[in-house]
Structure formats: structure tokens, C-alpha cells
């Protein structure tokens, strides 16, 4: 297993390179900014980039996903529910992206946005059990993703409640590798520690702990922070709807 984490400060976010070193097959998740660090990291690890995955259509930054996929000769991956104007590899809940001895299973986890996906990763050279989950802006360390940037806040919260229930069913030892950390506009109580486990978040993440749907909706729709500047414009650009995405 190869795993590299990229921490960004402008905008605040986290990207990942992971995959199978033995079979030289890798994927990049939620790339931001200059694509060269991802290409260099893959080259240093002796891996091809086969897939470039965006967990959702972002509203806080311009995605580098399509540019990286083109440069690497990779497939650009989004949820089949994404409303975009360009061709891509559409994935649905339960689909598996093959990466040699590593498998990446798609979990449809709407709420932060309707098309959001998480990626559950297993290294079959070690175990048939999942090792970590790339959670994007669904589950972060200390909080969950805001729900009003792409939908009605209350409806988004109801979707997120169901998605959170699915993540809670994962084994407690599974590592949580989120798409953001403290300073991101996509959460309210984010930790500066950029990884966690399902078990730790179940015990210590206030939003993740809530078991009643009505209480959860009230919690998630209270004290919503200001939206990222030009959030609607950025999301439209990442959807290919405006010239800025070209």
C-alpha cells in the first residue's frame, strides 16, 4: 500500500495519493492547485495514476481533477449523480475501482452535497477488512460537512444523517482520512489533526454522535457559518457550466 497525504492552506483542504506499489496502480483524491506535486509523488512511488477522484463538486475551491487526469492519462471519477457538463467515469454506490492488490469501494454519502461519495479502501495483501475511508467533506475530524451549499440545508441534513449512519456501521478501527481540517469553511469545529478513526469520532465528534434524526437536523442547521466567497460560482465552474472551468 502506498499512501501520501497533501495538506493545503490556500484553500484549506487535504488531497491523497494511494494505491498498490507492487502493481504500480494508484489514484488521487480531491486534488487542489498545481498538479505537479501529485505527478511527482506518483513517479517517486513508481506508480501510474489510473484514477483521479473528486468526492464531490466542490464549492470552496477550483478542482484540479480534470487537469490532473488529462496530464496523467487517468480516468476522472465523480458520482453518477453529479450534474456536470463534461464526460467522466460515473460511479455508483458499491462500485469498486481496481488498483492491483488495493480496492477502492464507492460509498454514496449525500448530505454535504447530493452527489458526495466516500471511498472505502482495502489492502488485500494485508487483510480482507477495510483499512481506511476517504471521507471528503462528509465526516471530518471533529465535525461533519455543512449541508446548505448545494441544497436546502434541512434536506441536506436529513440526507447526511442517513450517510452518517452508514459510516457509523464501519469497524471502529477504520482510519478516517477527511478532505479538510481546521480552517476550512466546510465545517464548524474541525480539528487541526488531519486524520482520526471511526471509533474516536463516534465517541468524541458531537455531530457524529447524535442518534436522533430531528435533533441531528436541528444541530446541523444551527449556527451555519457564512458561505465561502463565490461558492455558487466555484461550484458552477467545477461543474463545467461556466468558462472558468474550461
Confidence (pLDDT) at 242: 63
Confidence (pLDDT) at 243: 44
3-class DSSP state for residue 27?
strand
> Which residues does 4 contact at the CB level (< 8 Å), separation at least 6?
16, 17, 18, 41, 45
For the chain, 246 residues long, give each residue's pLDDT as a single digit of tens: 999 999 999 888 999 999 999 999 999 999 999 999 999 999 999 999 999 999 999 999 999 999 999 999 999 999 999 999 999 999 999 999 999 999 999 999 999 999 999 999 999 999 999 999 999 999 999 999 999 988 899 999 999 999 999 999 999 999 999 999 987 877 778 889 999 999 999 999 999 999 999 999 999 999 888 887 789 999 999 999 864 433
Instruction: Report the relative pairing of strands 25-29 and 48-53 from DSSP bridges.
Output: parallel
Residue 227: name the closest of 178, 190, 184 by CA: 184
Listing DSSP states for 189-234 in one string gives: S--SS--EEHHHHHHH-HHHH---HHHHHHHHTSSPPPPPTTHHHH
Question: For 214, phi and psi rounded to 5 degrees?
Answer: -65, -40
Residue 25: name the closest of 82, 75, 83 by CA: 75
What's the pTM? Answer: 0.94
Confidence (pLDDT) at 74: 98
Confidence (pLDDT) at 228: 77
Based on DSSP, count helices (H) and strands (E) in the chain, helices before strands: 7, 14
Confidence (pLDDT) at 224: 87
Ordered by where they begin, the domains of the chain are 2-245 (3.60.15.10)
Amino acid at each position: 500500500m502506498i499512501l501520501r497525504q497533501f495538506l493545503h492552506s490556500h484553500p484549506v483542504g487535504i488531497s491523497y495519493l494511494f494505491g498498490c506499489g507492487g502493481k504500480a496502480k494508484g489514484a488521487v483524491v480531491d486534488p487542489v492547485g498545481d498538479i505537479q506535486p501529485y505527478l511527482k509523488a506518483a513517479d517517486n512511488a513508481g506508480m501510474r495514476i489510473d484514477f483521479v477522484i473528486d468526492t464531490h463538486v466542490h464549492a470552496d475551491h477550483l478542482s484540479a481533477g480534470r487537469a490532473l487526469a488529462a496530464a496523467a492519462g487517468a480516468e476522472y471519477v465523480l458520482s453518477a449523480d453529479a450534474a456536470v457538463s463534461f464526460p467522466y467515469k460515473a460511479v455508483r454506490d458499491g462500485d469498486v475501482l481496481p488498483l492491483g492488490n488495493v480496492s477502492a469501494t464507492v460509498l454514496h454519502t449525500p448530505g454535504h452535497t447530493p452527489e458526495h461519495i466516500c471511498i472505502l479502501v482495502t489492502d488485500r495483501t494485508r487483510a480482507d477488512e477495510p483499512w481506511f475511508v476517504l471521507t471528503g467533506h462528509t465526516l471530518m475530524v471533529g465535525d461533519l460537512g455543512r449541508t446548505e451549499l448545494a441544497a436546502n440545508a434541512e434536506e441536506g441534513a436529513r440526507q447526511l444523517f442517513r450517510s452518517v449512519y452508514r459510516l457509523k456501521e464501519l469497524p471502529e478501527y477504520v482510519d478516517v482520512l477527511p478532505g479538510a481540517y481546521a480552517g476550512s469553511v466546510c465545517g464548524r469545529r474541525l480539528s487541526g489533526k488531519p486524520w482520526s478513526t471511526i471509533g474516536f469520532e463516534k465517541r468524541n465528534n458531537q455531530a457524529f454522535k447524535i442518534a436522533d434524526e430531528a435533533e441531528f437536523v436541528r444541530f446541523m442547521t444551527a449556527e451555519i457559518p457564512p458561505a465561502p466567497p463565490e461558492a455558487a460560482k466555484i461550484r458552477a465552474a467545477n461543474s463545467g457550466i461556466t468558462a472558468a472551468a474550461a
